[in-house]
Structure 1
Amino acid sequence: MSIYMVMSPIIGTLLGLYLVCLGLWELGVGLDRKRFITFSFTGLFLIFIIPDIFGFQLNINNFQ
């Protein structure tokens, strides 16, 4: 397995968490609602969809 196949979902998830935090910050400041929606949905996409595209799932049951 290539290092890029492992690191891409991890980097995507971290970037997604950062964007969700930026969206929550924008919601707290309350200046631009469109920016909040853009940050939040892009971050959620990166957190939940990108790891599934790369097939990066955590198998806790088969952990040895």
Structure 2
Amino acid sequence: MVDILILLPIISIMIGLYFITLGLWELREGVNRHQYIKYMFTGLFLLFILTPLVWMMVNVLL
């Protein structure tokens, strides 16, 4: 159980970076600007908002 709690922020970071990469790829293609905005905001949310919240939750639970 403790291992999963420690892995959640790492998984959140990896998924956030994946969405940012997809957003940059979409921007490079230049086909759908709305898709770029969705990918970038999702990735940045996961990276800068959700990850610290999960770290704080893990610290409180442990």
Shorter-chain TM-score above 0.5: yes
Q: Distance in 2 between matches of 1:54 and 1:30?
A: 34
Q: In proportion to residue count, which structure has more helix?
A: 2
Deviation beyond 6 Å, 4+ runs, structure 1: none
Identity of matched residues, %? 43
Contiguous gaps of at least 5 residues in structure 2: 57-62
Task: Give 3-state SS (helix, strand or coil) of 1:31's partner.
Answer: coil
Partner of 2:19: 19
Deviations 1:2-31 (A, max 9, x none): 112110110010000010000000001000
RMSD across aligned positions (CA):
1.4
* Superposition map of 1:6-45 within 5 A: 6-45=6-45
Q: Structure 1: state its 5+ residue gaps.
A: 57-64
Q: How many residues align?
A: 56
**Post-superposition CA distance 1:23-58 (Å, at most 9, x none):** 0000010000110000000000111112211126xx
Amino acid at match of 1:45: F
- For 2:59, the equivalent position in structure 1 comes to none
Normalised by the size of structure 2, how large is the TM-score?
Answer: 0.82
TM-score scaled by length of structure 1 = 0.80
